[in-house]
Amino acid sequence: MSLSSLFRKIGFIVGKRPKTIFLTNLFLFLPSLSYYLINDIKVETDVRRGFSPKNGRATSESKAFAEFYNVSKDGVDLVLIFLEPKTSDKRLIMNDKLLSDVDTLDRYIKELSLEINSEGLSEGKNDSQRVVRLKDFETSKGDMNYLFHAFKWAYQLQSTSLLLTSKLNKQINLDFPISQIYGFDVPLDSHFFGVKLAQGNNSEKFPSKIESVETIGIYYLLDGNNKNKNQMEILNNLELKLFDNINNGDLNNLTFKVLIYTDQLANYEMMRGAKKITSLLGIGVVAMILFLIVAFWHFNWKSQVIFLLKQLIIVSRVINWEINWEN
């Protein structure tokens, strides 16, 4: 049997018994659609994990990374901060002011807070209100920027030594990519990028051999606990608040500009474009209903009522979904 003859027979059956076909489809699909009459439609996205093959190498490495930090693979949430010069033709000069500003930013991020109540996010005041800070979501392994803090501490020691004795502490060598601090190796290539080293005897006149850098990176590994939707919502709002504060100029007094990536922010940006076209979805649904009304105009009034009710329910759910999404 050819494909065209098969479709011809299917069309004949549908055209001969339209009411039976319609009621059969309604009976088969209404139970599944009724789920969304009771529960809101929720759309979630995960940019970092969503595009990785389930059994791929990236997924396996992410799992090992999460286990090292005592976090579930789906609970790992990253905040990456990159610091660059405010003008592209300049570099970040290594000095006490620069390191102090990075440390100030680090404390600002950790202390960023939201006021919530026992049921979740809250705008008003009540007795059960508490403050949640971004540092509350840090993993049990603690601060991921400990190498930078070690470098800053040693840099201050060398600055003090130069000020008091005009000599560097010989037990500290702030070189790149690996510094030595009292016998310990401190790799710095995860924090400083585009490094320019001082040449010749000039390196002995400054606390560090690092003269300037193009970019500084600081990082935060958070436990999102994706099984707790309320906790994920709080974390999402904290990261969005940090992003808004940066864009609103709250950190303009620092000697660098701040670039930010977070998992929750990436997910938010991924969905923002889709939010803009939800209104077009409603127009498409209405156009579909009008088309089907014309196409099935030969139905009797009872069938038309059933059909219209079904389509109106779908439209109402789409509108409700759009309202909840935008809120």
SS3 173: strand
Local structure of residue 250 (DSSP, 8 states): T
Residue pair 161/169 in contact (Cβ under 8 Å)? The answer is: yes
Could you give the percent of the chain with pLDDT greater than 90?
Answer: 32
Lowest mean pLDDT among 5-19, 139-153, 157-171, 282-296: 282-296
pLDDT band at 4 (very low <50, low <70, confident <90, very high): confident
Question: Mean per-residue pLDDT for 46-64?
Answer: 76
Phi-psi region of 182 (alpha: psi -120 to 50; beta: other; left: phi over 0): left
Closest C-alpha to 139, from 188, 78, 81: 78
Lowest mean pLDDT among 179-188, 201-210, 240-249: 201-210
Instruction: Tally DSSP H helices, then E strands, for the chain.
Output: 11, 13
Residue pair 179/209 in contact (Cβ under 8 Å)? The answer is: no
Structure confidence by residue, pLDDT tens digits, 56-97: 787 888 888 888 888 877 778 889 999 999 887 789 999 999
**pLDDT value at 302 more than 80:** no
**pLDDT value at 123 more than 70:** no
Q: What count of other Cβ atoms lies within 10 Å of the Cβ of residue 268?
A: 17
Please report the pLDDT score of residue 28 as a whole number.
Answer: 75
Please report the pLDDT score of residue 320 as a whole number.
Answer: 66
Residue pair 184/151 in contact (Cβ under 8 Å)? The answer is: no
SS3 219: strand
**Residue tagged 């940090």 (tokens):** 242
Please report the pLDDT score of residue 110 as a whole number.
Answer: 93
Please report the pLDDT score of residue 226 as a whole number.
Answer: 55
Distance, in Å, from the CA atom of 50 to the CA atom of 28, rounded to the nearest integer, reads 31
Please report the pLDDT score of residue 76 as a whole number.
Answer: 82
Apex 175 CA angle, 171 and 178, nearest 5: 95
Please report the pLDDT score of residue 236 as a whole number.
Answer: 85
Question: Mean per-residue pLDDT for 114-129?
Answer: 62
Q: Which positions ≥6 away from 20 have C-beta within 8 Å? A: none
Cα 53 from chain centroid? 19
Residue pair 234/132 in contact (Cβ under 8 Å)? The answer is: yes
Overall residue count recorded for the chain in this entry: 327
